């Protein structure tokens, strides 16, 4: 169980921490010095005072800012920023992949939090050119989510809330790791999309969450983070469990499609499970809740052996 125990240690706070280890400078939001942090693209961002009007450029970023205690300072979001409830009524500045810069600038933010892995690079660079402070966020695992909460807390002057949220997340992940460290492995296919058929590789946070529960991602070695697959590849892999978030609601259509192959282990044992995609497909503190749900599905599969 050496590999599993190493994973638990990593999930408790060490996974890729080198990417964000130098994230926070020594200055204090309560002092006279600038508030300086390093973002997920290794760029240092300094503010003279805590941000008071923040625009968030992805639903995940919005959720993270609220979790870090900065919700009252968020003045703009992008489409599909639906959590928490308070985010639904905020002005929108386009979508994550097509920003409305005119609307964004009209909000006169003193901090923009971009999604490094999803926002159009040229549009984000334009914000730099216009002199707006831009923090580029790209959390991709539990530890990076925790450090992001800490940095958002510093930038918004809500240090205690951000630090508390980060600590609670680390403790929850560590507890899950301890609970499942010796759990029997379960081979899993996680379906991201139907047409084209898509999954996640081993570097994706969903795969890491599955691993925390004793799940084995059958397509962990695929090169793209979100690879496309043939139906034949999944049939050949013969997963014990198939999990999908579908279109964001408890719709069994995608799962029922697999029942036309009654010889599949997942079908034979009725291990076809739905999960709320917002809990696992957004890198936010709710990923802990999503991981618990994944673990429950794998527990059910073990009981059906």
How far apart CA 37 and CA 25 sit, in angstroms, is 6
The pLDDT score that the predictor gives to residue 30 is 53
44 and 157 belong to one structural domain: yes
How far apart CA 148 and CA 158 sit, in angstroms, is 13
Find the mean pLDDT for residues 153-182.
98
23 and 145 belong to one structural domain: yes
C-alpha pair distances (Å), 204 with each of 207, 217, 280: 5, 10, 10
The pLDDT score that the predictor gives to residue 128 is 96
For residue 59, pLDDT over 80 is answered with yes
Find the mean pLDDT for residues 136-160.
97
Report percent pLDDT > 90 for the chain: 86
12 and 55 belong to one structural domain: yes
Find the mean pLDDT for residues 35-53.
98
163 and 281 belong to one structural domain: no
Averaged pLDDT score across all residues of the chain: 90
Residue after which a domain boundary falls, among 125, 150, 174: 174
196 and 153 belong to one structural domain: no
Residue entry with tokens 């707006």: 132
* H helix or E strand, kind and range, residue 15: none
Range of the domain at 157: 2-174
pLDDT band at 236 (very low <50, low <70, confident <90, very high): very high
The pLDDT score that the predictor gives to residue 23 is 47
For residue 242, pLDDT over 50 is answered with yes
188 and 170 belong to one structural domain: no
The pLDDT score that the predictor gives to residue 250 is 67
119 and 191 belong to one structural domain: no
Residue after which a domain boundary falls, among 174, 209, 225: 174
C-alpha pair distances (Å), 39 with each of 11, 22, 60, 98, 297: 21, 9, 16, 22, 35
Q: Count of domains in the chain? A: 2
For residue 27, pLDDT over 80 is answered with no
103 and 22 belong to one structural domain: yes
Higher pLDDT, 253 or 81: 81
For residue 12, pLDDT over 90 is answered with no
Contact 65, 156 (CB under 8 A): yes
Write out the DSSP string of 235-299. Answer: HHH--SEEEE-TTSS---HHHHGGGG-TTSHHHHTT-EEE--HHHHSS-STTHHHHHHHHHHHHH
pLDDT band at 9 (very low <50, low <70, confident <90, very high): very low
The pair phi, psi for residue 168, each rounded to 5°, is -65, -40
The pLDDT score that the predictor gives to residue 47 is 98
153 and 100 belong to one structural domain: yes
* H helix or E strand, kind and range, residue 8: helix 2-9
Exposed, middle or buried by CB within 10 Å (0-12, 13-18, 19+), for 193? middle
For residue 40, pLDDT over 90 is answered with yes
Find the mean pLDDT for residues 95-100.
96
> What is the DSSP pairing of strand 215-217 with strand 186-191?
parallel
33 and 143 belong to one structural domain: yes
Its pTM stands at 0.87
125 and 150 belong to one structural domain: yes
Nearest 5 degrees, angle CA 139-CA 142-CA 147? 60
Please compute, for residue 212, the number of CA atoms within 13 A of its CA located in the half-sphere on the CB side.
32
User: Helix, strand, or coil here: 72?
Assistant: helix
Q: What is the pLDDT of residues 174-215, one digit of tens each?
A: 999 999 999 999 999 999 999 999 999 999 999 999 999 999
30 and 63 belong to one structural domain: yes
pLDDT band at 280 (very low <50, low <70, confident <90, very high): very high
Residue after which a domain boundary falls, among 123, 147, 174: 174
Residue 217 Cα to chain centre, angstroms: 18
The pLDDT score that the predictor gives to residue 31 is 53
CATH classification at residue 213: 3.40.50.1980
pLDDT band at 252 (very low <50, low <70, confident <90, very high): confident
């Amino acid at each position: 169980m050496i590999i599993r125990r190493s994973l638990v240690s990593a999930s408790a706070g060490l996974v890729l921490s080198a990417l964000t280890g130098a994230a926070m400078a020594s200055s204090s939001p309560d002092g006279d010095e600038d508030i300086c942090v390093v973002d997920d693209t290794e760029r240092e961002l300094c503010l003279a005072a805590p941000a008071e009007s923040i625009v968030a450029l992805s639903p995940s970023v919005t959720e993270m800012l609220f979790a870090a205690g900065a919700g009252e300072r968020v003045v703009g979001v992008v489409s599909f920023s639906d959590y928490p409830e308070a985010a639904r009524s905020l002005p929108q500045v386009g979508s994550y992949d097509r920003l409305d810069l005119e609307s964004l600038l009209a909000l006169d933010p003193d901090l923009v939090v971009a999604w490094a892995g999803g926002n159009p690079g040229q549009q984000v660079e334009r914000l730099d050119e216009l002199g707006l402070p831009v923090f580029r966020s790209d959390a991709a695992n539990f530890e990076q989510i925790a450090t992001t909460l800490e940095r958002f807390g510093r930038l918004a002057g809500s240090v205690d809330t951000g630090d508390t949220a980060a600590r609670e997340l680390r403790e929850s992940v560590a507890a899950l790791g301890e609970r499942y460290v010796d759990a029997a492995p379960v081979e899993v296919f996680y379906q991201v999309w139907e047409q084209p058929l898509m999954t996640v590789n081993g570097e994706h946070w969903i795969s890491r969450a599955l691993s925390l529960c004793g799940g084995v991602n059958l397509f962990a070695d695929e090169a793209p983070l979100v690879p496309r697959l043939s139906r034949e590849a999944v049939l050949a892999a013969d997963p014990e469990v198939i999990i999908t978030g579908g279109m964001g609601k408890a719709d069994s259509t995608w799962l029922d499609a697999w029942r036309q192959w009654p010889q599949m282990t997942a079908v034979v044992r009725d291990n076809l499970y739905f999960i709320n995609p917002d809990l696992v497909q957004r890198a936010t503190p709710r990923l802990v809740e999503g991981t618990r749900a994944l673990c429950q599905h794998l527990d059910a599969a073990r009981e059906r052996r």
